[in-house]
Chains A and B, each alone.
Chain A
Amino acid sequence: MDPMETMKAMGELWSRGARSFAEAQANMMGAMQTAAGPAPAPDFEAVRAAQTAYTKAWTDAQSVAASFTSSLGAQGDAKGDKDPVAAEVLAKVFDPRGWLSASSEIDAALSRFAEGPQFSDLFQIERKFAVLNTAWSALRRRNLEHNTLMLEAWTRATGVFSKAVNARTEAGQPLESARALMTLWIETANEVLVETQRSDAFLRSQRESLKAATDLRLAQADLAEFYSQMYGYPTRAELDDLHKTVTELRRDLRGLKRKAAASRAKETTP
Chain B
Amino acid sequence: MSRPTITPADAVAEVSALGRRIAEGAKLFGEIRDADVQIATTPKDAIWSQDKVTLYRYRPLAPSKGLPPVLIVYGLIGRYTMADLQEDRSLVRNLLNLGLDLYVVDWGNPSRAERFVTIDDYVDGYLAECVNVIQGETGREKLNLLGICEGGVFTTCYAALYPEQINAMVLTITPIDFHADQVDNRPGHGFINLWMRSLSPEDIDRLIESQGSLPGAFMGSVFSMMTPMRTLTKYNVDLLDALADKKKFLNFLRMEKWIADRPDHPGEAAKQWLKDLYQDNKLVENRFQLSGRTVKLSDITCPVLNVFAKDDHIIPPATSRALGTKVGTQDYTELGLPGGHVGVFVGGKAQALLGSGIADWLERRG
Contact = CB atoms under 8 A, between A and B. Distances in A.
A113 B232 contact: no
Contacts of B222: 106
A92 interface: yes
Contacts of A109: 215, 217-218, 220-221
Contact of B11 (A76, A98, A99, A180): A76
Contacts of B191: 197-198
A198 B194 contact: yes
Contacts of B236: 89, 92-93
Contacts of A190: 188, 227-230
A109 B220 CA distance: 9
Given A109-B217, A198-B187, A247-B116, A206 B11 contact: no
Contacts of A112: 217
A247 B209 CA distance: 17
Interface stretch (B27-35, B39-47, B82-90, B121-129): B121-129
Most chain A CB inside 10 Å of its own CB: which residue of B112, B116, B198, B209:
B116
Main secondary structure of the interface of B (DSSP, over half): helix
B195 A206 contact: yes
Nearest to B13: A177
Given A68-B1, A93-B233, A194 B228 contact: yes
A5 interface: no
B259 interface: no
B207 A214 contact: yes
B183 interface: no
B225 to A, nearest CB: 5
B218 A218 contact: no
A14 B211 CA distance: 34
Contacts of B224: 102, 105-106
Interface in B14-52: 14-15, 18-19, 22, 51
A207 B229 contact: no
A75 B3 contact: yes
B10 interface: yes
B11 A79 contact: yes
Contacts of B188: 190, 194
B92 to A, nearest CB: 28
A210 B1 contact: no
Interface stretch (A53-61, A137-145, A181-189, A227-235): A181-189
B231 interface: yes
Interface stretch (A21-29, A30-38, A124-132, A168-176): A168-176
A244 interface: yes
Nearest to A178: B14
A15 to B, nearest CB: 27
Which one of B1, B12, B125 has the highest number of Cβ atoms from chain A below 10 Å of its Cβ? B1
B8 interface: yes
Nearest to A204: B198
Contacts of A161: 1
Given A81-B8, A86-B15, A243 B112 contact: yes
A215 B228 CA distance: 27
Contact of B5 (A106, A175, A254): A175
A45 interface: no
Contacts of B125: 251, 254
A interface, over-half SS: helix
A240 B233 contact: no
Nearest to A261: B132
A270 B18 CA distance: 76
B6 A105 contact: no
B6 A243 contact: no
B2 A207 contact: no
Contacts of A85: 15, 18-19, 22
B19 A195 contact: no
B66 interface: no
A198 B198 CA distance: 10
B282 interface: no
Interface string A144-173: 000000000000000001100110011000
A244 B116 contact: yes
Interface in A193-226: 193-195, 197-198, 203-204, 206-207, 210-211, 214-215, 217-218, 221
B121 A247 contact: yes
B16 to A, nearest CB: 9
Contacts of A162: 1
Nearest to A153: B228
Contact of B231 (A75, A102, A174): A102
A106 B221 contact: yes
A258 interface: yes
A254 B114 contact: no
Contacts of B240: 89
A243 B113 contact: yes
Contacts of A89: 236-237, 240
A228 to B, nearest CB: 15
A6 interface: no
Contact of A179 (B14, B215, B220, B231): B14
B174 to A, nearest CB: 24
26 contacts: A75-B4, A83-B15, A85-B22, A102-B224, A102-B229, A103-B232, A106-B224, A113-B211, A161-B1, A165-B1, A165-B4, A169-B2, A174-B2, A175-B5, A176-B5, A176-B7, A176-B10, A178-B14, A181-B4, A203-B198, A207-B203, A210-B199, A240-B116, A247-B117, A250-B51, A251-B125
8 closest A-B pairs (Cβ-Cβ)?
Answer: A83-B15, A102-B232, A162-B1, A217-B210, A203-B198, A190-B229, A109-B221, A175-B4
Given A75-B4, A103-B225, A109-B217, 10 more contacts: A92-B236, A93-B237, A103-B231, A113-B210, A161-B1, A190-B229, A210-B203, A218-B209, A240-B112, A254-B125
